[in-house]
Amino acid sequence: MPALIQCHLFMSSARSSVTPEKLIRPEILALHAYHVPPASGMIKLDAMENPYLLPQALRDEIARLVADAQINRYPDAGAHQLKADIRKVTNLPAGMEVLLGNGSDEIIQLLAMAVDKPGATILSVEPSFVMYKMIATFIGMNYVGVPLAQDFSLDLPAMLEAIKREQPALVFLAYPNNPTGNLFDADAIKQIIQAAPGLVVVDEAYYAFARDSFIPHLAQYENLLVMRTFSKLGMAGLRLGFLAGSTAWLAQLEKLRLPYNVGVLPQLVAAKLLEHHDVLLAQADSIKQERTKLLAALSAISGVQTYPSEANFILLRVAKATQIFEGLKQRGVLIKNLNGGHPALADCLRVTVGTPEENQTFVAALQDTINQLA
Ligand code: PMP
């Protein structure tokens, strides 16, 4: 055998002995991948999407825009038009900037990477959005989750104590919280911002369905940043989130952002949709009205405990949650089973508010499943 081929064979056999188990960090090996269940043909009420399509005239306008888009070119790395539109629709206070992410998930990752000094800690509450902890694990940061009170409100003394003890570089507070749906007490959050030695990120993913926001307070606290996503407002498929705050912080974070993280098509389509922000807000209003009706219908079912919501989903507690979740699936309705995820969420389910028809089908399927299991 020629020496060159022999050498090549030797090298490839040496390479094949490198297994993922040997190379990948143990905390990554121990992780379970974020599971997105198949939903084809189902009534999809598991992911807090807006159930409404856009009006036909607007869809036609978008089709024309997309047809003319220069997808042979890289996107505008600074996304100037889109950022200007975002500043306008959010009434951003003077002196504040925005940073765009490929969904707000990417912004959480970027924030974590920026403060990832040896020993640095991310702190949040539990139960809350699982990505805060997952991203801390991805990049090898410490994570501390402070339990919420029994009614899912903030346990302020426990938070202040944990902040003093852990000195977190980053605190994430989802406002409203996912998966509980409630809005934390704004004064408690202000105390946390004042006590925190690092950044506090108020995650307003569900802002369109809530009655309050921290954007007007941005100028008041130098360690406050507000993060939002357009995913829940009808643009989940575009993948677009943003972080608002002072240029002092955002200029540093911009250095970590990959230059073309928001593509040509998301930039174009989101800018067009923000021109029609009123259409999206009207859809959010319908969702809020449906939320009230759904909450009433669920509360009327015996054996179902509901929690108040300022988001586009409702948390409920039932007996035999996993069996009910499976029963709903068999009846063509996909929601989120939270049972087994966190002790405080034992027997909990989370349902996204859908169209009136979807909600009616869900309530009937729930009633039917409960009757069958009784
Ligand atoms: N924050 C919260 C509280 C969320 O619930 C979600 C999505 N479930 C996100 C951020 C991420 O949203 P996206 O990546 O779609 O912008």
Q: What is the reported pLDDT for 35?
A: 79
Task: Indicate whether residue 174 lines ligand 1 (CB < 6 A).
Answer: yes
Would you say the CB of residue 306 lies under 6 angstroms from ligand 1?
Answer: no
- Beta strands 121-126 and 170-174 are parallel
Residue closest by Cα to atom 6 of ligand 1: 205
Q: Which of 132, 231, 313 is the pocket-test mutation for ligand 1 (most atoms within 8 Å of CB)?
A: 231
How would you label 241-277 residue by residue, b for 16+ Cβ within 10 Å and e otherwise? Answer: bbbbbbeebbeebeeebeeebbbbebbbbbbbbbebe
Q: Is the CB of 178 under 6 A from ligand 1?
A: yes
Q: Using the mean position of ligand 1's atoms as its centre, give its distance from the Cα of residue 174 in Å.
A: 9
Whether the bond between 118 and the residue before it is cis, its omega within 30 degrees of 0, is: no
pLDDT of residue 1: 52
Confidence at residue 49, expressed as pLDDT on a 0 to 100 scale: 97
**SS3 of 216, please?**
helix
Q: Which two tokens stand for residue 276?
A: 């029609």
How distant is the alpha carbon of residue 286 from its chain centre?
A: 21
Q: Which residues of the chain have pLDDT under 70?
A: 1-16
C-alpha 255 to ligand 1 mean position (Å)? 23
Residue with tokens 């960090």: 25
Compute, in angstroms, the gap from residue 116 CA to the centroid of ligand 1.
21
Q: What is the pLDDT of residues 92-150, one digit of tens each?
A: 999 999 999 999 999 999 999 999 999 999 999 999 999 999 999 999 999 999 999 99
Kindly state if the Cβ of 105 falls inside 6 Å of ligand 1. Answer: yes
Cβ proximity of 285 and 312 under 8 Å: no
